[in-house]
Amino acid sequence: MSRTERLLQLMQILRRHRYPVSGAALSQELGISLRSLYRDIATLQNQGAKIAGEAGLGYVLQPGFTLPPLMFTEEEIAAIALGSRWVARQADHKLALAARDALAKIASVLPAEARQELETSGLLIGPSSSNAGNDEQLRQVRLAIRKQHKLVLEYQDETGKASERTIWPCALAFFDSLRVIVAWCELRNDFRHFRTDRIQSLQVADQIYPRSRQALLKEWRVQQGIRPER
């Protein structure tokens, strides 16, 4: 690998991580010494890359820095194709359409050989077995999460018992056969998980819930013992 390729790969790794990553982890992934890594970091910083951190503390690429278009590897093309097709098959209509549009935009700027690889990928998504609730409900749930608005649900639990719940939705989990809302429940005063196929009716309230979505999601991860995404 040339040094130019290595610098581009280092930028890609930093862009992948949301939190500071140690020099040791970076050097291990790149297969270089710590001394070489520190030189590469300094080179990128001198070229204008906004990399915060220092030896012993870790490094993070600050928001607002945009990389020029990079060539995708064959594995990256496969991941993009598979992920977009899964969303197009499993999500609500509006999100599925966005996935197809994103895939088309990426294809339009790729060289001919890479575009053919993207369009003819042999990785396919099978038919969905989901009974996950109606399309409009999923769209409303996504909107409430994005806007941090409360949701009022008429909800039926696994025993068939109905109740009205006011919740603060912070995430929507997509499984193969169902969709689950992660939310703070005002009735239970704790986090609860709500299957969208058990929602009898749904209304997006005008009120914005009092804590940020990011804070709720972080608290839920801690409660569930889930490590933060990097």
pLDDT given for residue 17 in this prediction: 83
Half-sphere exposure at residue 28, Cβ-oriented, CA atoms within 13 angstroms: 5
pLDDT given for residue 131 in this prediction: 55
DSSP designation for 90: H
Low-confidence ranges of the chain (pLDDT < 70): 1, 54-55, 64-71, 128-133, 228-230
- Angle, CA 52 vertex, CA 46 and CA 54 arms, to 5°: 90
pTM for this prediction? 0.65
pLDDT given for residue 101 in this prediction: 86
pLDDT given for residue 173 in this prediction: 92
H or E element in which residue 207 lies: strand 199-208
Count Cβ atoms below 10 Å from residue 48 Cβ, excluding itself: 7
pLDDT given for residue 64 in this prediction: 62
